[in-house]
Structure 1
């Protein structure tokens, strides 16, 4: 896709962080933008901002962990704009901590927010795009954490590895049928967003039980400190939107923002092929 003016972009998690940057870039390119989020205050801020930009946009309050909400998002988009040309399947969360310490509620929260939401977006929007029979593009936001693994956040790695595998497989299926839908998977490293505040926007069904021992533990407190540090010291978000749109223009599937991780990704693949065991000392 080379031309964006007048086309329609849908962005989940569009009120904050990466989603907000993608929505801004879409508006700069004179697209019609549908900004979906569970953050009502964030959507109010976006309303004010995008009106000031004289953008053609719509905000939708929704929960990406509910399939019916994804269907509602699609219906609202088609009712208002009649088509969808780019889907930024972007919303996601992070939950650090050992798998044996984390409450099951937290595991369900990250699984449904990071993996099921991507699946829901594909299931709902691919048929719409196929029916249009026009050039379309889907960008699934994953993470470099889906291409390499560390000890700090196993549930996050689990969902992001799953996201990349899902994206690759769906992309093969679309190629097999000669679809006009192109795909990308966005695999950033740490970016200066507010991802470490995602718990402030948890759906009620995943509400934290502060009586659970995990939330009194040093592991939980240290996880919060690590998340705050790595995100606030990440790369600036300014160029993210432009980089992703350039990848769409180039029909580039893998979109990476941090070249310093490429040798680590390469070493992981080499270790797999050489049948070497993972060694935690590699990170020391």
Structure 2
């Protein structure tokens, strides 16, 4: 998608944070914007901001933990714009903690939002992108925590690793259909993800087993404020879409950490080549795994 002007993008979690920045960046590139967010009033306000800058924009309330809600958002997008060319599966929340301290409901919540929400978005929008024959693009927001796993962030990392893996597979499936796939893996960005519990559905996921008071929010707010400007990340996303990049990175300072992880994996391969147990296997055996190229 080199030429974005006049095409339509839908962004989940698009009313605030990185999603709102993507709306600004894609709107500035001439795209029509559909804001999909669980917070209706915030979405409405964001659309008013976009319209004030002469961006064609609409909003729809979407809960990405519900496949039916995402489908309704897709139908509303087509009703408003006729076509959709780009879907940014960006809605996400963060949770973690030491082993044994993470409430069961938080595991369910983070998987439903960060993992299943991406699945629902791809399943709902890819057929709509394919239907008009003009090509398009899928952007899935993962994280640097989808490439490395800091201690204490295992629930978040598990979902973000999954988003990376799914994006890599879908990339090969959708390329013949003229649909690009990118996975965004940023580091710390100055957003309000720290306040994601405001939308936690306690009726579904249970009451919190841990107290999250104002002091916790203040510490997290201060930490997140040290992140980079979300608009810079969003502009990098626009570049990545135009270049059809698979991996879109914004925090180059993490290169060594990621390289160290993969060097550890490569070292394990080298060690396994010297394994007495594996030496008994036939030397001419063929790989029985599916090629990464599909």
Do these two structures clear the TM 0.5 threshold for a shared fold by scoring above it? yes
The match for 2:194 among 185, 193, 196 is 196
CA distance in 2, matches of 1:13, 1:253: 21
Q: Secondary structure at the match of 1:238?
A: helix
Match of 2:126 in 1: 126
- Determine if contact 1:34/1:60 at 8 Å carries over to the other structure: yes
1:187 has 2:179 as partner: no
- Determine if contact 1:99/1:155 at 8 Å carries over to the other structure: no
Match of 2:284 in 1: none
1:267 has 2:260 as partner: yes
1:22 has 2:18 as partner: no
Task: Tell me which moved more, 132-141 or 49-58.
Answer: 49-58
Cα–Cα, structure 1 residues 270 and 193, in superposed 2: closer, same or farther, change >3 Å?
same
Q: Secondary structure at the match of 2:268?
A: coil
Q: Secondary structure at the match of 1:172?
A: helix
Normalising by structure 1, report the TM-score.
Answer: 0.89
CA distance in 2, matches of 1:157, 1:148: 8
What's the RMSD between the two structures over aligned residues? 2.0
CA distance in 1, matches of 2:229, 2:88: 20
Match of 1:257 in 2: 250
CA distance in 2, matches of 1:80, 1:221: 40
Q: Secondary structure at the match of 1:33?
A: strand
- Determine if contact 2:15/2:39 at 8 Å carries over to the other structure: yes
Q: Secondary structure at the match of 1:88?
A: strand
- Once the two structures are TM-superposed, the CA of residue 134 in structure 1 deviates from its matched residue by 1.6
The match for 2:223 among 230, 239, 254 is 230
- Determine if contact 1:15/1:42 at 8 Å carries over to the other structure: yes
The match for 2:211 among 206, 210, 215 is 215
Match of 1:13 in 2: 13
- Once the two structures are TM-superposed, the CA of residue 142 in structure 1 deviates from its matched residue by 0.4
- Once the two structures are TM-superposed, the CA of residue 205 in structure 1 deviates from its matched residue by 3.7
**Alignment coverage as a number of residue pairs:** 269
Cα–Cα, structure 1 residues 215 and 259, in superposed 2: closer, same or farther, change >3 Å?
same
- Once the two structures are TM-superposed, the CA of residue 54 in structure 1 deviates from its matched residue by 2.5
Match of 2:77 in 1: 77
- Once the two structures are TM-superposed, the CA of residue 160 in structure 1 deviates from its matched residue by 0.3
Normalising by structure 2, report the TM-score.
Answer: 0.86
CA distance in 1, matches of 2:166, 2:215: 31
Per-residue CA deviation, residues 103-151 of structure 1 (Å, 9 max, x unaligned), is 1111111001100000101111111122222220111000000001110
